[in-house]
Amino acid sequence: MLVRLKNIQVYAYHGAYAHEREHGARFEIDVEYMPMLNNTFKNDDLADVIDYVKVQEEVVKVSTQKRYHLIESLCDAIATQILSIFPVEEVIIRVRKPGASAGVVLDTIEVECRKTK
């Protein structure tokens, strides 16, 4: 079973340039994970599965407790944290920075990180 949390939004202070780390911006984060649950969800009990509210809380915590110069580093830090705390086999994190200036008009910049145990 694959669980997806799409478009978690945080306001944080990440960026390669000082003005980005000073003024901050909105970041959008997707989390996908493969839990090590062995069909425990069939009990229909939250205590037997990964509470995705707790996953969201970890994403927000990692995203806001430290300022990263690169969204690649942020993405890796979130993936590492999810793998270390929760019983998951694999995690995929996507971090988007809408409206980031790259010298051209674009909707967003997105970085993806995949990690397994």
**pLDDT by residue (tens digit) across 78-89?**
999 999 999 999
For domain 3-103, give the fold.
Answer: GTP Cyclohydrolase I, domain 2 (3.30.1130)
Query: What does the DSSP assignment read for 26-82?
Result: EEEEEEEEEE--TTGGGG--GGGS--HHHHHHHHHHHHHHS--S-HHHHHHHHHHHH
Res. 43: pLDDT tops 80: no
In the chain, what's the furthest Cα-to-Cα distance? Answer: 52
Extents of the domains making up the chain? 3-103
> Mean per-residue pLDDT for 24-41?
88
- The pLDDT value recorded for residue 25 is 93
- The pLDDT value recorded for residue 17 is 86
Which has the higher per-residue pLDDT, 101 or 107? 107
Does the model's pTM come out above 0.85? yes
